[in-house]
Chains A and B, each alone.
Chain A
Amino acid sequence: MNWIFYLFIVVSIITAAITGRLSDVVEALLSGAQLSVKIALSLIGIMAFWLGMMKIAQKSGLIELIAKFIKPITKRLFNEIPEDSPAIGDIAMNFTANAFGLTNAATPIGIRAMEELQEHNIDKTSASNAMCLFLAMNTAGFQLIPATVIGILAGVGYPNPTKIIAPVLMVTTLAFCFAIICAKILQRIWKPQTASNSESEGK
């Protein structure tokens, strides 16, 4: 992460110096910082709502029930996490919410899943294999209906916008499976985590 952060900023400044857009870049710095806070603040309300809902689902045993249902799959995928961990249920809920395009619901649930995965993490400062896998599943963006895109297409008078559902579903499903396979392969080659707070490779 250190290198990425460094490169983002240094490359933009060098490029800006060449293209003569230094003032734009400085302005982007300010607006970017503002935007991040805006995003985080706008998350508070919906975050609170879903965290509350999920707490109810957890207390009532509903999450456990769902987790039991999909256990055969998650047990294999997340073999480093104890079967009875609430993380398994939250991961399932996060996936379901994402699939239905409920990003507002998926993010709070996903964050809770991360917190639970953190409890099983042997080194609290670096990402566990389970976390990497979970995020691989999330970044692949599996979604049944690309509602925003269809909305934009309909807005510009594209003929029959729902036609893109099938190809999108195909691409996203394959990319999703590919992400899981990648995570599983990299997990084998990457330097394993070492127990808490010892020096592990910063990337």
Chain B
Amino acid sequence: MFQQVMETFSLWALPVILITILTYAMFKKVPIYEVFTDGAKDGFKVAVNIIPYLVAIIVGVSMLRASGFFDMLSAWLAPALTFFNIPADIIPVMLTRSLSGSATIGLFSDIAGNPASTFLTTTLAAIMVGSSETTMYVLAVYFGSVKISKIRYALIVGLLADLMGIILAILVCKKMFG
């Protein structure tokens, strides 16, 4: 029931937002076409502005991934996780979650599609991936758009929240499916 309601909600959210914005504006006699094109003009500028910041982050993350650094880290972390009875297959997802959205989805598809993965591994990976946003990407895009490079504690907060998300995902998954 809850799920059905939520799915319908997700499907209708965008159309409803569009109709509301446009109808309300017409009602208030806003020249919507002119205002729209005026606002849309900035799209190019903003997208181009964030390129340098995206390049820095995405190149860094791609290089790190290609170097095999995460495989090494996974190998080190595996014993600790097995000790807590957490499937070690999950480690790559845990590590890339904050860094690269496309890589995380790729890793997750790999786990989900692998017949050797247990139900618990797939479920835990699903919860971890579903509850995360790519911290590095968000910071690069948003700070890039206003040309800020001194980000103060923003990254620390993002990573702490990611860590909390991982811990919570493990706890919730064990409680509900373990």
Contact = CB atoms under 8 A, between A and B. Distances in A.
A162 interface: yes
Contacts of A124: 146, 148
A107 B137 CA distance: 11
Contact of B28 (A61, A114, A148, A193): A61
B131 A1 contact: no
Contact of B68 (A21, A110, A165, A186): A21
Given A12-B63, A33-B55, A48-B41, A102 B35 contact: no
A49 B43 contact: yes
Q: Is the interface of A mostly helix, strand, loop or mixed?
A: helix
A176 B71 CA distance: 29
Contacts of A54: 39
B153 to A, nearest CB: 4
A175 B156 CA distance: 14
A94 to B, nearest CB: 10
Interface residues of B, number: 97
Given A55-B35, A164-B130, A190-B152, A25 B66 contact: yes
CB-CB nearest 5 A-B residue pairs: A55-B39, A48-B43, A141-B133, A146-B130, A32-B62
Interface of A: 1, 4-5, 8-9, 11-13, 15-16, 19, 21, 24-25, 27-29, 31-33, 35-37, 39-41, 43-49, 51-57, 59-62, 97-98, 100-102, 105, 107-108, 110-111, 114-115, 117-118, 124-127, 131-132, 134-136, 138-141, 143-150, 152-153, 155-156, 158, 161-162, 164-168, 170-172, 174-176, 178-179, 182-183, 186-187, 190, 193, 200-203
